[in-house]
Structure 1
Amino acid sequence: YNEAVREAQIDLLPCAYLHNYKCAEPPAYDPLLDPAYLEYLERAPAFCNGDVVKLRDFICRHIQHGDDGQVLYHIESGRLRPSKSLQDALTGMLAGNDEFVMIDDQKVIFEQAVHLAREAQRTGERHVLIVRGGPGTGKSVVAVNLLVRLTAEEMVVQYVSKNSAPRNVYAKLLQQGNRSKAYIANLFRGPGKFFEHTGAPLDVVVVDEAHRLNEKSGLFQNLGENQIKEIVAASRFSVFFIDETQRVTIKDIGSVSDIRAFAEQAGAHVHEADLFSQFRCNGSDSYLDWLDDALSIRPAEERITDLDYDFRVFDDPHQLFAAIAEKNAAANKARVVAGYCWEWPKDSKPNPNTHDIVLGEHGFSISWNLATTGTWAIDDSSIHQVGCVHTCQGLEFDYVGVIIGDDMRVEGGEIITDHTKRAKSDKSLSGIKSLAKADPTRANRIADEIIRNTYRVLMTRGLRGCYVFCTDPALAAYLRERMPRPSAPAPYAPMPEQLSLAAEDPLED
């Protein structure tokens, strides 16, 4: 990205000086020198306590004479701009990928965002664009296209998402031929480092799944102030793609009102837009309206007579898996996902032979997705593992199979949720027990919303169909009963004779 480095052809050689680290004397084992790291140490040697002479020799070998700090000055003051090779690589990667083709109002939002990015560059003023859109309206498609287009216009752009799954998948899909992932890896990042940003703002930050942003950052949620505020402050132009009904953890705080408030606080020009056209769920708004109504998230405004979508409820998980596997055979675009009601032990994460999800009464068992890959959604063999909301949110398949666990059931003809049935290893509801002691009403409301939203997300990952198995038979019956039945055509009845005569032209002789 540094123009001075490219234009002056400055060679950058990495190394590390760990002045407080003492290496173990051979033959004792030293973790820093583990064979797993040898490839990296060859490219970026590490010098430890007592290695001053070795460090001096390394520097003298590569720097023949001093220049009074001129090279350092040029690097420090060099303009950050993507290289032409990176621009060409990104544009070439996007071409021919059907996953990223935009249509209808996606193009309108895209052009609006490009215009605002240029305006922010021209004036130096800060702009924020908030884009609302439900599942399947193309938020991620527009986000990736903005990343590529604005990088091609020599802007420094970063694609941000809380969930690592879409970042990993989009980075892999954008790779073609023999190009290294290094071309694009640094374009994708999580939101947890912007509190460290100093210096000039980035040209553009594109935030996908902005509803998943947290207040604070870090492993212990103790760093920074607010991720929304920090992203706005770190960029001249920021785009937030958001769907507030997809908040699925207790820490998700992304909202339109908060983004608007922090943008105005930073003196930014605030713009808002909506994506309406539905491209997932077979383009069926009816299915989405029915699902929201069935899950008691939002009542349908009018009677739904046809889902126009392949939705099925299975009584046997074997049949569900077989149906999804059959759909997957065509193009590797079908997966099974589940609510987080089964533990995911650390020991089993890399082992496909450990079956975490066990439905004993059906003789069915299967493993969660493996921790050995970050691209479960598109890996060739991952049909044999089950994903969760954290590995599929922001992504889509042709068909999705959903296992609804014991955290959702039907009692008295109504859906109820039960957060105590969630696995202990699930961090989505981390802190809910403490909150329940202090304010049980609020805790139950938050947990209920998160569980319903979770299944809404899972059940809207399919472009063409969603197949469901419920551990609660009453819930399966409830969903079946609520499925609309297309009305039978009315029997033909000829019009009465007098009406036919009355329709004749009275002027005709």
Structure 2
Amino acid sequence: MKNIDNAATNKISPFKKLTTEQEQLVNDIISFTKHHLTQNHPAIYTVYGDAGTGKSVILSQLFVRIQKEARTQQNSVLYHTNNYFLVNHPEILKVYKEIAGPIKELYKKDFTRPTSLINQLDKQQQTIDVAVIDEAHLLLSKPDHYNNFYHDNQLVEIIKRAKVVIIVFDQYQVLRMKSLWTPERLQAITNQYPHKDYHLTHMFRMNASDDLVKWFNEFTNYKLTALPASARDHYDFRIYSDAEEMRKAIVQRNKEVGLSRILSTSGYPSTLDGGKHYIEEGRFKMPWDQYNYTVTPWAELPQTIGEVGSIYTCQGFDLNYTGIIIGPPISQTPQTNQLQVNLDRYTDVEAFKKRDDLTDPAEIKSLEKRMIMNSLNVLFKRGVYGTYLYAHDPLLRHSLTSLFKKAGFSLPKEEQ
């Protein structure tokens, strides 16, 4: 465990060895791309997969292969094609740009945000050949004037400007109304064109048992179930009744192997105003993550062990160990094994901006609740070697610690 490679660039490195399935998928996407580049209408390849199923690794290798052929192989259909890799997430974009540095066929300018590319192409009155889009569930699906996006849907606009579009998508990582996507909404667009879909199902990121991953999924589908007997097999899964004890354990893991952080759902005071806003739970008091102006991802900055990470700083990244605070928006319904989402306790004001295409209050509520559970899902799927949980809601906290004991587990001595 001491020789863990913590660099995010190596987690999605184009030199990482792919599984047979991944290799075949990359080959299939390249064949699809080459075939459709010669057609006179756009085509779309969609890779569906939950968090941690290796989507970014596949795209990273795919794009290097595309660009190598585009820049060096004169006999390839891809030769001299104009291709871009897009991701609507500043922290992940930093990693891809860093990856591009040492690879001579990749340029940092190949990697950009969707809005930047759309506006740049319009300015130059140009189109491109291939657009590879990571985290397509973060694409805007309504105008966002604050970020200079004046159209209705980023995917639609990219398709208009490219011959082949390759996207990866996870419906359980949709977190904001301005990026509202469902499989149906996505397919309403992709089905208008020649398209191909592929579903990734194997969890690569977490060393957790399939049953524990399933338990996390049940949890984010509002069900509190018994912990599987395998919850701690080859995986350090813990439930704490004291957030401060959990913090100490994470600090210890960070000393041992690095890249271990406290994360939290919304539900605590937070505004990006340059000031510090704290999460307090009993003896526990830590500030939220600050806006990261550096080129280094948030979790790789040593000082962020003293901050609480959010979906905005950890989505798309691996962490070795996570201590997750399940905040006030998620509680247990008394006398049931059901969980509930308390929209009035959600403090991420940016998340639920009004949409003109949503008018049914019940549908809006249901989508908002789903997004809150999705944000917890994103946090649940970060920890490679271990996940520690603490719940704000007293009833849920009691139920979780009881389930932990009932499964025959106890916290290791060092932390008791």
Distance in 2 (alpha carbons) for counterparts of 1:280 and 1:310: 14
Conserved? CA contact 1:229–1:263, under 8 Å: no
**In the superposition, relative to structure 1, how do residues 124 and 443 fare at CA in structure 2: closer, same or farther (>3 Å)?**
closer
The corresponding residue for 2:398 is 477
Aligned 1:55-74 pairs, distance under 5 A: none
The corresponding residue for 2:200 is 275
Conserved? CA contact 2:144–2:150, under 8 Å: yes
Shift of 1:140: 1.0
Distance in 1 (alpha carbons) for counterparts of 2:390 and 2:357: 31
Q: Which amino acid aligns with 1:419?
A: L
Aligned 1:456-475 pairs, distance under 5 A: 456-475=377-396
The corresponding residue for 2:133 is 207
Aligned with residue 157 of structure 2, among 225, 230, 241: 230
The corresponding residue for 2:316 is 394
- Determine if the alignment matches structure 1 residue 455 to structure 2 residue 376: yes
Q: Which amino acid aligns with 1:135?
A: A
- Determine if the alignment matches structure 1 residue 131 to structure 2 residue 47: yes
Kindly provide the CA deviation profile for residues 25-53 of structure 1, in whole angstroms up to 9, marking residues without a partner as x.
Answer: xxxxxxxxxxxxxxxxxxxxxxxxxxxxx
The corresponding residue for 2:26 is 110
**In the superposition, relative to structure 1, how do residues 435 and 262 fare at CA in structure 2: closer, same or farther (>3 Å)?**
closer
The corresponding residue for 1:378 is 300
**Can you give the 5+ residue segments of structure 1 that lack an aligned partner in the other structure?**
1-93, 489-509
**In the superposition, relative to structure 1, how do residues 373 and 336 fare at CA in structure 2: closer, same or farther (>3 Å)?**
farther
The corresponding residue for 1:422 is 346
Distance in 1 (alpha carbons) for counterparts of 2:281 and 2:172: 33
Conserved? CA contact 2:29–2:45, under 8 Å: yes
Conserved? CA contact 1:242–1:255, under 8 Å: no
Kindly provide the CA deviation profile for residues 31-83 of structure 1, in whole angstroms up to 9, marking residues without a partner as x.
Answer: xxxxxxxxxxxxxxxxxxxxxxxxxxxxxxxxxxxxxxxxxxxxxxxxxxxxx
Distance in 1 (alpha carbons) for counterparts of 2:352 and 2:23: 37
Conserved? CA contact 1:399–1:463, under 8 Å: yes
Structure with higher RCO (Cα < 8 A, 6+ apart): 2
Distance in 2 (alpha carbons) for counterparts of 1:296 and 1:243: 15
Kindly provide the CA deviation profile for residues 454-503 of structure 1, in whole angstroms up to 9, marking residues without a partner as x.
Answer: 11111111112111122222212223444596699xxxxxxxxxxxxxxx
Aligned 1:434-453 pairs, distance under 5 A: 439-453=360-374
Shift of 1:363: 4.8
The corresponding residue for 2:243 is 317
My pick for the range that moved more, 288-297 or 389-398, is 288-297
**In the superposition, relative to structure 1, how do residues 142 and 435 fare at CA in structure 2: closer, same or farther (>3 Å)?**
closer
Aligned 1:6-405 pairs, distance under 5 A: 97=10, 99-100=12-13, 101=16, 102-123=18-39, 126-154=42-70, 155-175=81-101, 184-193=107-116, 195-196=118-119, 197-198=121-122, 199-220=125-146, 223-265=150-192, 268-282=193-207, 284-297=209-222, 304-307=228-231, 308=233, 309-348=235-274, 354=276, 356-359=277-280, 361-373=282-294, 375-405=297-327
Conserved? CA contact 1:105–1:275, under 8 Å: no
**In the superposition, relative to structure 1, how do residues 417 and 435 fare at CA in structure 2: closer, same or farther (>3 Å)?**
farther
Distance in 2 (alpha carbons) for counterparts of 1:315 and 1:475: 10
Secondary structure of the residue aligned to 1:293 is: helix
Conserved? CA contact 2:49–2:55, under 8 Å: yes
% of aligned pairs identical?
22
**In the superposition, relative to structure 1, how do residues 112 and 200 fare at CA in structure 2: closer, same or farther (>3 Å)?**
farther
Secondary structure of the residue aligned to 1:455 is: helix
Secondary structure of the residue aligned to 2:167 is: strand
**In the superposition, relative to structure 1, how do residues 467 and 115 fare at CA in structure 2: closer, same or farther (>3 Å)?**
same
**In the superposition, relative to structure 1, how do residues 170 and 316 fare at CA in structure 2: closer, same or farther (>3 Å)?**
farther
The corresponding residue for 2:73 is none
Q: Which amino acid aligns with 2:345?
A: K
Shift of 1:255: 3.7
Calculate the TM-score normalised by the size of structure 1. Answer: 0.67
Structure showing greater Rg = 1
Distance in 1 (alpha carbons) for counterparts of 2:173 and 2:200: 15
**In the superposition, relative to structure 1, how do residues 174 and 282 fare at CA in structure 2: closer, same or farther (>3 Å)?**
farther
**In the superposition, relative to structure 1, how do residues 104 and 162 fare at CA in structure 2: closer, same or farther (>3 Å)?**
same
Secondary structure of the residue aligned to 1:223 is: coil
The corresponding residue for 1:36 is none
Secondary structure of the residue aligned to 1:168 is: helix
